[in-house]
Amino acid sequence: MLKWAVIFLVLGLVLGALGFGGVGGAFVGIAKILFFVAIAIFAILLVLGLLAGKGVKNAID
């Protein structure tokens, strides 16, 4: 997901530099959304991984 965010960001910057500000701005907006979705998914999976690790540790002990 971060790969797509970087691709949209680069395309948005290139389009903005070439004078296509509206389309470039839309691409940068999409990149922002993808970035924050990736951060949210990372945080959720981090918490779930920590909880699962504690569950395995308690089952072993």
Q: Where are the domains of the chain?
A: 2-55
* Blockwise average pLDDT, block size 10, the chain, 61 residues: 94 95 95 97 94 76 62
- pLDDT at position 61 is 62
Amino acid 18: pLDDT: 96
- 10 Å CB burial of residue 58 (0-12, 13-18, 19+) is exposed
pLDDT at position 54 is 78
Q: What is the pTM of this model?
A: 0.78
Write down the pLDDT at residue 53.
Answer: 80
